[in-house]
């Protein structure tokens, strides 16, 4: 079957690598408490840029938020004189709060996520009893991407790919010859993302991963997380399609879909939920905006008991 979106992305990657279109420059930032890699990707000529998967720090014990991690991104953008055109989220993260609204306030850029966020809003809107005032139509975001949508960062062409499985709404962003693949694949020595959150699906994740793995081998891949694999003493978040196909623990060439689903399902059953899933999902499904303050001026996070 011809996958027109992958064919289009392949063309774009080859043009960037062949020198007929510009390659993006990427600066990554790692938030160790949540093991999250955020990326600033920019066109070195026009200096237009996008921020991908920024982190707002949150201390669960005290309920205190801070912008320390995002400040480093802000400082970099100001030092480099970049103009932010997009604040991109690969998905509604369950392990950290998004700093996109905080960065957007100071730098602008359209806040965007995958169009299937409405399914996440439906499922978690019920879990958090969000009520009728919470619109489940994605209107908290400035833009919703569908599979195959094109966009630009300066002169650099980009394409959004829908890669569900970890959540129903996951997107990968192929920007020039670099792909930002969110929670699908991790480093080859660590494997793949879990698929057991509400709305997740291991078989769907496998199909999404296989689509990504059909991109050119030289495609630069940037991940959303790294946890250090056993035997590795440093964090890493950049690899290639070729390295994933040769040696990804869970999905290297030769592993069947049924074997992957069996492995993933068995492994997911042993994982505890992320520490910050409750605050993260209820805030990130609203575009990272904190809940409105109550009449005493304080914002509160809800915890549903005996639900997840």
Binding site for Fe ion (CB under 5 A): 93, 183
Nearer to Fe ion, 77 or 202 (CB): 202
Nearest approach, Cβ of residue 140 and Fe ion (Å): 18
| Gap between the Cα atoms of 289 and 10, Å rounded | 35
Nearest approach, Cβ of residue 195 and Fe ion (Å): 11
Nearer to Fe ion, 39 or 93 (CB): 93
Question: What contacts 24+ positions apart, CB below 8 Å, involve 23-29?
Answer: 23/156, 23/176, 23/177, 23/178, 24/153, 24/156, 24/175, 24/176, 24/177, 24/178, 26/178, 26/220, 26/222, 27/76, 27/80, 28/222, 28/237, 28/238, 29/69, 29/72, 29/73, 29/76
Nearer to Fe ion, 12 or 280 (CB): 280
Nearest approach, Cβ of residue 281 and Fe ion (Å): 10
Nearer to Fe ion, 51 or 74 (CB): 51
Nearer to Fe ion, 93 or 220 (CB): 93
**Residue nearest to Fe ion according to CB distances in the complex:** 183
Contact by Cβ (8 Å): 89, 170: no
What DSSP string describes 55-80? EEEEETTTTEEE-HHHHHHHHHHHHT
Nearer to Fe ion, 136 or 225 (CB): 225
Nearest approach, Cβ of residue 225 and Fe ion (Å): 7
Residue 274 to residues 139, 228, 278, Cα–Cα distance (Å): 27, 17, 9
Nearest approach, Cβ of residue 286 and Fe ion (Å): 17
Nearest approach, Cβ of residue 118 and Fe ion (Å): 18
| Gap between the Cα atoms of 209 and 205, Å rounded | 6
| Gap between the Cα atoms of 291 and 53, Å rounded | 20
Nearest approach, Cβ of residue 133 and Fe ion (Å): 26
Nearest approach, Cβ of residue 167 and Fe ion (Å): 7
Within the chain, residue ranges assigned H as helices are: 4-17, 68-79, 100-107, 117-127, 202-213, 241-247, 257-268, 277-284
CA quadruple 150, 154, 157, 158: dihedral positive or negative?
A: negative
Nearer to Fe ion, 32 or 292 (CB): 32
Nearer to Fe ion, 48 or 95 (CB): 95
H or E segment to which residue 28 belongs: strand 25-31
Phi, psi dihedral angles at 53 (to 5 degrees): 55, 60
């Amino acid at each position: 079957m011809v996958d027109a979106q992958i064919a289009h992305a392949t063309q774009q990657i080859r043009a960037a690598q062949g020198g007929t279109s510009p390659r993006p420059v990427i600066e990554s930032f790692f938030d160790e408490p949540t093991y999250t890699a955020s990326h600033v990707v920019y066109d070195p000529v026009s200096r237009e840029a996008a921020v991908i998967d920024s982190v707002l720090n949150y201390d669960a014990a005290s309920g205190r938020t801070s912008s320390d991690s995002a400040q480093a991104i802000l400082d970099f953008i100001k030092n480099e004189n970049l103009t932010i055109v997009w604040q991109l989220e690969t998905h509604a993260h369950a392990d950290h709060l998004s700093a996109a609204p905080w960065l957007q306030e100071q730098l602008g850029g359209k806040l965007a996520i995958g169009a299937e966020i409405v399914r996440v809003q439906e499922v978690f809107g019920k879990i958090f009893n969000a009520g009728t005032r919470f619109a489940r139509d994605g209107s908290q975001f400035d833009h919703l991407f569908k599979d195959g949508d094109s966009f630009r960062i300066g002169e650099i062409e980009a394409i959004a790919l829908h890669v569900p499985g970890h959540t129903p709404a996951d997107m990968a962003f192929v920007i020039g010859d670099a792909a930002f693949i969110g929670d699908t694949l991790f480093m080859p020595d660590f494997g793949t993302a879990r698929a057991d959150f509400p709305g997740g699906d291991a078989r769907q994740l496998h199909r999404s991963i296989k689509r990504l793995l059909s991109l050119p081998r030289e495609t630069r891949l940037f991940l959303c997380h790294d946890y250090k694999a056993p035997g590795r003493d440093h964090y890493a978040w950049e690899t290639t399609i070729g390295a994933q196909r040769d040696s990804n623990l869970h999905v290297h060439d030769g592993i069947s879909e049924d074997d992957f689903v069996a492995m993933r399902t068995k492994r997911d059953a042993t994982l505890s939920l992320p520490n910050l899933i409750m605050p993260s999902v209820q805030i990130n499904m609203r575009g990272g905006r904190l809940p409105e303050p109550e009449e005493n001026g304080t914002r509160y996070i809800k915890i549903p008991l005996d639900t997840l």
